[in-house]
């Protein structure tokens, strides 16, 4: 079980958190195209390597926060309050 360093609470067991999805997918609220909507709902990049994502600290501060994680090594490059991570980086998948 990995440790996740919550930006509000500090390092905690990953069982306290829920992965809340890849970041950067904009909700196409005005779309009239089912294909576009369902692409947003169901299709994810799921890269092998670095990815930006949202996490939820359900058993702690109950805050959503942003992070960049390597899906191979589970290493976190940064963890920040929601929407406050560094700008897009070259290696970043998202």
Q: In which element (H, E) is residue 10 found?
A: strand 10-13
Site string for other proteins, 28-57 (x = CB under 8 A): -x-xx-x--x---x------------x-x-
Q: What is the 3-state secondary structure (H, E, C) of the chain?
A: CCEEEECCCEEEEHHHCEEEEECCCCCCCCCCCHHHHHHHHHCCCCCCCEEEEEEECCCCCCCEEEEEEECCCCCEEEEEECCCCCCCCCCCCC
In this chain, which stretch among 1-9, 44-52, 84-92 interacts with other proteins, using CB under 8 A?
1-9
Q: Please report how close the Cβ of residue 90 comes to other proteins at its closest, in angstroms.
A: 26
Query: Counting contacts by CB under 8 A, is residue 72 touching other proteins?
Result: no
Query: Counting contacts by CB under 8 A, is residue 1 touching other proteins?
Result: yes
The footprint of other proteins (CB under 8 A) covers: 1-3, 13, 18, 20, 27, 29, 31-32, 34, 37, 41, 54, 56, 58, 62-64, 74, 82-83
């Amino acid at each position: 079980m990995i440790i996740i360093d919550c930006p509000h609470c500090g390092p905690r067991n990953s069982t306290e958190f829920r992965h809340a999805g890849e970041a950067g997918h904009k909700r196409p609220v005005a779309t009239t195209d089912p294909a576009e909507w369902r692409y947003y709902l169901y299709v994810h990049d799921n890269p092998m390597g670095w990815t930006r994502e949202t996490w939820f600290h359900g058993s702690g501060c109950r805050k959503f926060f942003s992070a960049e994680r390597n899906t191979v090594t589970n290493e976190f490059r940064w963890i920040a309050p929601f929407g406050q991570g560094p700008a897009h980086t070259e290696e970043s998948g998202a």
